[in-house]
Structure 1
Amino acid sequence: MDSPSIHVASRRRSSASLAAEFPGAEIVDVTSKGPEPWVRLSPFFPHGGIPVPGGAGVTSQSVEGVWQALKVFEGADVDLAKLDVTSMKGLKRTVRRFGPVLGHRPGPYGEGPLLPYETARRRIYLPAYHWVLENPAAGVVARLREMAAVRDVVLLDYTLNGDVADLSRPLSHAALLRRYVEGR
């Protein structure tokens, strides 16, 4: 028998489809729509106290709050109010409303040039999400690691892209979580 592994699949797939592809696997929804305790692994979850990269003491309620707060559009600069959102709703800032994305500020104070998308993923999103996995969500991560040691686990997410350098698709936090749990 092969050792258990962790897979990432679309949350939009049917239960029957997932069961057929991953027989006997534990299905874990790690999106903002997932159940407790797994919702705590969503970047939208308001853990609070998340250090904002480049923020010298500034914190956010959620990882997504950090990402959206530091995003700069053609028609709008940073929005630090996103750092305080605890409802998991109203976090997204869109090109439809603000125009094309120009980049991300390297911190909340607007110092330095805008970061291009991949650099922003590496300097803002990844450190913030890693901090959550190491700190407030560490117990949930340990539970997931224990589960994955004895059976296959399928993490559900809306996106599947685990390649930080692939800018053609949104980044999957479930793919990042899989890599983290597997120690890669």
Structure 2
Amino acid sequence: MPIQVANRRRSAVSLTRAFPGAHVIDVTSKAGEPWVRLSPFYPHGGVPVPRTPGVTSQSVEGIWQALKVFETADVDPGKLDVTTMTGLNRTVRTNGPVRGHRDGLYGDRLLTYPTARRRIYLPAYRWVLENKTTGLVEQLRHLAGEHDVVLLDYTTIGDINDCRTPLSHAALICLYVQDQWPEEDH
């Protein structure tokens, strides 16, 4: 199944030249329906917060931001309830350097960035793919069986261990559709 990831900032001309005949699908928070539902910012609701039994979030990004711990700010449970796809990010400019991600909303352990990806982000995003967007995942499988597919994202890094830039959820979609999901840390 030929599915690739490209940067959303590329021009349509550049994408057409690089991927002639491909279905180009934006899966960012700026995408239209139905593909915007694959964005980690999309407020599906009911997304279980890893290592926090009984607590859910509106979105995957809400979980990621809520569990982030800074030099001057601990977890922010309010991020779990955000339904607007905006106002989710918590920044070093406001809160100082990131110390890690809390291992669950009430956990006492801070996780390193790569461990947090495996223990928080991957399980939360996989849950959305398996419980909230199964129809879209099947559409992608079908499209990829007929034509090349290019998913647009702001980042294109799909290597879970490469922490130089944020992880591309589009790359994770590719891995999931192709049954190559990265190993999670339980």
TM-score by length of 1: 0.96
The one-letter amino acid paired with 2:118 is R
CA deviations 1:95-123 (Å, max 9, x no partner) are: 011000000011111x2320011000000
1:24 aligns to 2:21 (yes or no): yes
Residue 149 of structure 1, aligned match among 145, 151, 156: 145
Residue 60 of structure 1, aligned match among 57, 60, 65: 57
Q: What secondary structure sits across from 1:7 in the alignment?
A: strand
Corresponding residue for 2:173?
177
The one-letter amino acid paired with 1:141 is V
| Structure 1 CA distance for aligned equivalents of residues 21 and 32 of structure 2 | 20
1:131 aligns to 2:127 (yes or no): yes
Corresponding residue for 2:41?
44
Corresponding residue for 1:33?
30
1:69 aligns to 2:66 (yes or no): yes
Corresponding residue for 1:116?
112
1:144 shift after superposition: 1.1
TM-score by length of 2: 0.95
| Structure 2 CA distance for aligned equivalents of residues 36 and 143 of structure 1 | 14
Task: Count residues in correspondence.
Answer: 180
1:93 aligns to 2:90 (yes or no): yes
| Structure 2 CA distance for aligned equivalents of residues 137 and 65 of structure 1 | 17
CA deviations 1:19-63 (Å, max 9, x no partner) are: 000000000000000111110000000000000001101000000
Residue 6 of structure 2, aligned match among 6, 9, 18: 9
Q: What secondary structure sits across from 2:145 in the alignment?
A: helix
Corresponding residue for 2:136?
140
CA RMSD of aligned residues (A): 0.7
Runs of at least 4 residues off by over 3 Å: none
Any gaps of 5 or more consecutive residues in structure 2? 181-186
Q: What secondary structure sits across from 1:167 in the alignment?
A: coil
The one-letter amino acid paired with 1:150 is E
